[in-house]
Amino acid sequence: MRFFMPADTYVEKNCVKNHKEDILKIGSRALIVTGRSSAQKNGSLQDVTEVLKEGGVPYEVFAGVEENPSVDTVGKAAETGKKFGADFVIGIGGGSAIDAAKAIALLIANPEETINCLYQPKDLQAVPVIGIPTTCGTGSEATAVSVLTRHDVEIKKSIPYKIFPVLALVDGKYLLSASQNLLINTAVDALAHSVESFLHAKANEFNRMISGYALQLWKEEIPVLKKEQELTEDMAQHMMLTATIAGMAIAQTATSLPHAMSYEMTYRKGLPHGKACGIFLAAYMREYARQNKKDVDDILGFLGMEDLDAFEKLLAELIGKPEISEEELISYAENVSKDQGKIATYPYDITKEAIFEIYRASLVTD
């Protein structure tokens, strides 16, 4: 049994400013990687550039990371970083920006390689990455995972490299300007991370301890997600903390079937990541409970919920159900059940029919 989480992690108000020295000692020229506009709006980019200016560290900003970042975007950003002579990368944003920052850091460290290396398991190291989340879901600041989109083969998939940020700086104030939709979609992603890690084939006492606590914290977010309470600064901090802790759980196990099932929903149907995972959670837990009811009851207990019906009702209220055809259902279920790596994340035998049933129960309104 092992616990491994090498990202030096701080969760506190004014985190970036408080850890100026920790940032400055990581490198001498920074590539900052962000989405198109949110890092400007929520103040995170300004905090980082002020610290770099004060420390005399030159930087270049690549503000072109799209949602579900493509390998091509990563390649472009890496070219910018190489031209600039960057020796570390700061990813600011949701999972897209931080995941992209990890792959960009790998390409910067290996200038002789092209983007083709990203999906080839080679012995490559990355330059250091700092992860600064601005949403309450990804957990990417606390994991080694980088999920990218390949348009050439129409898939969204993790690269095989394990790239932990060396420093994670988590400050709830960046969440205060988020829309209600973003809060819900990303918080549901953190919920999925906690649940999937708890029920994972690789689950052990360490990740279950972390997941269980993340679920207890998540319970306290429900009134904000249902808009029964305003998002206060303290609650924003709480939601970011929950996401980082849930990230620490998946750093031990990886995610499981709901994430595997989500990727095509995002790629083909344009569903935001958290929502695309969340729609499968209840049916997946129902299937799991047929083998092991206690684990599922433990999760419901952490969340303070009576049964899976209550869990399903809450998620339906928060994220709804997308429209889908029978042909799409069959094709998605076929693809997931063929992927042995994904199936192996589930601790029990699972048939193609059971996977199809999770899709059907999650997406078809009877």
What distance in Å separates the CA atoms of residue 16 and residue 262, rounded to the nearest whole number?
Answer: 32
CA count, 13 A, side-chain hemisphere, 263: 21
Work out the burial of residue 125: count CB atoms within 10 Å of its CB; fewer than 13 is exposed, 13-18 middle, 19 or more buried: exposed
CA count, 13 A, side-chain hemisphere, 32: 25
Closer to Fe ion at the Cβ: 32 or 197?
Answer: 197
Please, what is the minimum distance in Å from the beta carbon of residue 120 to Fe ion? 24
Closer to Fe ion at the Cβ: 61 or 250?
Answer: 250
**Cβ neighbours of residue 258 closer than 8 Å, sequence gap 6 or more:** 192, 195, 196, 277, 278, 280, 281, 284
Closer to Fe ion at the Cβ: 87 or 158?
Answer: 158
What distance in Å separates the CA atoms of residue 204 and residue 247, rounded to the nearest whole number?
Answer: 15
What distance in Å separates the CA atoms of residue 229 and residue 223, rounded to the nearest whole number?
Answer: 5
Q: Verify binding: residue 141, Fe ion, rule CB under 5 A.
A: no
Which of these ranges, 36-44, 70-78, 120-128, 189-197, lies near Fe ion under the rule CB under 5 A? 189-197
Please, what is the minimum distance in Å from the beta carbon of residue 194 to Fe ion? 11
Please, what is the minimum distance in Å from the beta carbon of residue 110 to Fe ion? 27
DSSP state of 65: P
Which of these ranges, 57-65, 185-193, 214-222, 304-312, lies near Fe ion under the rule CB under 5 A? 185-193
Closer to Fe ion at the Cβ: 277 or 358?
Answer: 277
Closer to Fe ion at the Cβ: 59 or 346?
Answer: 346
Please, what is the minimum distance in Å from the beta carbon of residue 284 to Fe ion? 14
* Out of 87, 171, 189, 264, the residue judged to bind Fe ion by CB under 5 A: 189
Q: What's the alpha-carbon Rg for the chain, to the nearest Å? A: 20
Please, what is the minimum distance in Å from the beta carbon of residue 323 to Fe ion? 23
Site for Fe ion, rule CB under 5 A: 189
